[in-house]
C-alpha cells in the first residue's frame, strides 16, 4: 500500500503538516504515516499523529538525510514537511525544506507554519506556463484530482509579449484559445476545470489567485534547480504563501 509521509516535529508546525498529508493521502489513495527525527532529546509528536490516525516512526540523525532516506522508500508516494520554523511574516523556506525538495524525486508538499491546512481538498490551483515538460509533470496529479472530483483551477499568466492580440476584442477567438490551451495541457475532461488568465508576474499572481479562489493547495511543476536565475516562482511562492504548496519534479 502506498503511503504519504509527514515529516514532523513536536511543535506548532506539526498539525498543518499532518492535515496536508491527510489530504494528500486521500488524493493519492494512500495511507498516512509520520516520521520524527529526534534532535537533542526532543519530545515526540506521537500523540498528535495518533489523533490523525498515523503511527510515528522515530529516528535519530541528520533531519535532512533521514527525511530523504525515508522518502526514498518505494511505498512513499508523496512527502509533506514544514516550510520553516514558526516565525512571523513572509520568509524564505528553511534550509531543511530547500535541501529536501531539491533531492527527493517525488511530489513534496511544503507547508507554511501557520497554514490553515484542510484534511480534505476541495479546490487546487495549478499554474501552467504552457511548456511541454511542466504540463507532463502535472498530468498524473491532475488525473488524481479529477478522479477525486476536486475543482481544478488552472492559472496561466501572460506577459505583454505573449498575450493574444485579439484578447480584448474577439470573445469567440479568446474562447477558442482557452479551449485549445486546456485541451493541450489538461489530460482529463474539463467539467470541473476552469482557466484563469492574468497579465502580470507569475510569482505574484499565483498567491493572489489562490487566495481569491480559496484554493486548498497550490500545485507547481519544477526542475528542482534553485540556482540563481531558476525557480523564481517556486522560491517566491514558498516564501510568501500561507497555503500548502505541492511541488512536482519534471523529468
Highest mean pLDDT among 18-22, 113-117, 203-207: 18-22
Contact 80, 17 (CB under 8 A): yes
Q: Is the pLDDT of residue 42 over 90?
A: no
Domain membership flag for residue 171: yes
Domain membership flag for residue 152: yes
Contact 115, 242 (CB under 8 A): yes
d(CA 171, CA 212): 24
d(CA 53, CA 221): 30
Domain count, the chain: 2
Tell me the three cell numbers of residue 158: 501572460
- How would you classify residue 185: left for phi > 0, otherwise alpha for psi between -120 and 50, otherwise beta? alpha
Mean pLDDT of the chain: 92
Name the burial class of residue 239, with classes exposed (0-12), middle (13-18) and buried (19+) by CB atoms within 10 angstroms of its CB. Answer: middle
CATH number at residue 153: 3.40.50.620
Domain membership flag for residue 116: no
Q: Which of 63, 80, 111 is the last residue of a domain?
A: 111
Domain membership flag for residue 44: yes
Instruction: Please check whether residues 233 and 149 belong to one and the same domain.
Output: yes
Instruction: Please check whether residues 178 and 242 belong to one and the same domain.
Output: yes
Domain membership flag for residue 228: yes
pLDDT score of 166:
62
Q: Is the pLDDT of residue 8 over 80?
A: yes
Instruction: Please check whether residues 74 and 97 belong to one and the same domain.
Output: yes
Q: Is the pLDDT of residue 87 over 60?
A: no
Q: What is the pTM of this model?
A: 0.93
Q: Which of 88, 111, 134 is the last residue of a domain?
A: 111
Q: pLDDT (tens digit, 9 = 90+) per residue, 47-75?
A: 999 999 999 999 999 999 999 999 999 99
Q: Is the pLDDT of residue 91 over 60?
A: no
pLDDT band at 6 (very low <50, low <70, confident <90, very high): very high
Domain membership flag for residue 118: no
Instruction: Please check whether residues 12 and 93 belong to one and the same domain.
Output: yes
Q: Per mean pLDDT, which range of 81-90, 103-112, 119-128, 236-245 is the poorest?
A: 81-90
Beta strands in the chain (DSSP E): 3-7, 31-38, 56-60, 76-82, 108-111, 123-127, 151-158, 193-199, 217-222, 245-249
Q: Is the pLDDT of residue 88 over 60?
A: no
Instruction: Please check whether residues 84 and 160 belong to one and the same domain.
Output: no
Domain of 38 in residue numbering reads as 3-111
pLDDT score of 94:
87
Instruction: Please check whether residues 194 and 171 belong to one and the same domain.
Output: yes
Q: Which of 43, 78, 111 is the last residue of a domain?
A: 111
Question: Which residue would you say has higher pLDDT here, 236 or 167?
Answer: 236
d(CA 173, CA 189): 21
Domain membership flag for residue 117: no
Q: Per mean pLDDT, which range of 73-77, 132-136, 161-165 is the poorest?
A: 161-165
Instruction: Please check whether residues 62 and 92 belong to one and the same domain.
Output: yes
pLDDT above 90 covers what percent of the chain? Answer: 76
Domain membership flag for residue 42: yes
> Which residue(s) pair with 195 in the sheet?
154
Cα–Cα distances in angstroms (integers) from residue 48 to residues 14, 19, 155, 217, in the given order: 8, 11, 35, 22
The residues near 69 (Cβ < 8 Å, ≥ 6 apart) are: none
Q: pLDDT (tens digit, 9 = 90+) per residue, 188-221?
A: 999 999 999 998 888 889 999 999 999 999 999 9
Amino acid at each position: 500500500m502506498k503511503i504519504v509521509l509527514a515529516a514532523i516535529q513536536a511543535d506548532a508546525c506539526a498539525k498543518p503538516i499532518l492535515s496536508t498529508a491527510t489530504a494528500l493521502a486521500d488524493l493519492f489513495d494512500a495511507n498516512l504515516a509520520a516520521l520524527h527525527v529526534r534532535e537533542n532529546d526532543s519530545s515526540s509528536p506521537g500523540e498528535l499523529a495518533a489523533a490523525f490516525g498515523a503511527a510515528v516512526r522515530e529516528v535519530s540523525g541528520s533531519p535532512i538525510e533521514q527525511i530523504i532516506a525515508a522518502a526514498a522508500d518505494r511505498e512513499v508516494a508523496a512527502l509533506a514537511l514544514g516550510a520553516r520554523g514558526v516565525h512571523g511574516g513572509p520568509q524564505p523556506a528553511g534550509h531543511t525544506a530547500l535541501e529536501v525538495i531539491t533531492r527527493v524525486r517525488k511530489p513534496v508538499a511544503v507547508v507554511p507554519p501557520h497554514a490553515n491546512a484542510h484534511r480534505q481538498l476541495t479546490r487546487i490551483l495549478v499554474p501552467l506556463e504552457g511548456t511541454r515538460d511542466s504540463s507532463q509533470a502535472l498530468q498524473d496529479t491532475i488525473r488524481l484530482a479529477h478522479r477525486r472530483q476536486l475543482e481544478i483551477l488552472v492559472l496561466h499568466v501572460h506577459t505583454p509579449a505573449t498575450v493574444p492580440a485579439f484578447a480584448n476584442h474577439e470573445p469567440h477567438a479568446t474562447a477558442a484559445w482557452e479551449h485549445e490551451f486546456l485541451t493541450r495541457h489538461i489530460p482529463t475532461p474539463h467539467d470541473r476545470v476552469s482557466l484563469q488568465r492574468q497579465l502580470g508576474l507569475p510569482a505574484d499572481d499565483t498567491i493572489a489567485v489562490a487566495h481569491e479562489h480559496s484554493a486548498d493547495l497550490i500545485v507547481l511543476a519544477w526542475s528542482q534547480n534553485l540556482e540563481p536565475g531558476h525557480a523564481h516562482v517556486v522560491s517566491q511562492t514558498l516564501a510568501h504563501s500561507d497555503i500548502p504548496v505541492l511541488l512536482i519534479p519534471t523529468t
